[in-house]
Amino acid sequence: MKRLRIGEREIGEGRPCFIVAELGVNHDGDPAKAARMIETAALCGVDAVKLQRRDIDSILTRQAQEAPYLNERSFGATYGAHRRALELPDEAWPRLQSLAERNAFVFKKTHCRDAIPLTRGGLNRRHERRFICVWFAALGI
């Protein structure tokens, strides 16, 4: 098995487990909640935290965006409004980057365009998606 580096940390066979706290959109679009989640992950000693950022117009059809979406966890009347509400505002990212760096995480933003998921039958280009993955990778652990 090969090894690779994330920041100063080598991961792979024979190396300690690299633990990623998947924050996803569990911050509910609230920058203060996202900041608390990063701070909590740092206190727990994880190696990295991961947030996601998506371009809703690129990943959802107009029909999907306009579909009614009303339930106890809905953040909007349509699925598009719900998904947009879960995205952190642009102005939140620099503050989160600064917070990550103060907690000994390196801010890394990976642009994942035209990602092709692996399906049972192999690569399926009909399921291409556009989204941005944001990584905060820990240093020297």
Return the amino acid letter for 35: A
Tokens encoding 15: 């190396």
Distance CA 99, CA 118 (A): 34
pTM (2 decimals)? 0.73
Which residue, among 45, 54, 51, has the nearest Cα to 22 in the 3D structure? Answer: 51
Domain boundaries, the chain: 19-138
Residues 130-139, mean pLDDT to the nearest whole number: 44
> Cβ(107)–Cβ(95) under 8 Å?
no
pLDDT tens digit string along 35-90? Answer: 999 999 889 988 888 887 777 887 888 999 999 998 898 999 999 999 999 988 98
> What pLDDT was estimated at residue 106?
64
What is the share, in percent, of the chain residues with pLDDT greater than 70?
74
User: Mapping DSSP to helix (H, G, I), strand (E, B) and coil, where does residue 54 land?
Assistant: strand
Name the band, by pLDDT with cuts 50, 70 and 90, for residue 94: confident
Backbone torsion region of residue 13, taken as left when φ is above 0, otherwise alpha when ψ lies between -120 and 50, otherwise beta: beta
Query: Does 6 have pLDDT greater than 70?
Result: yes
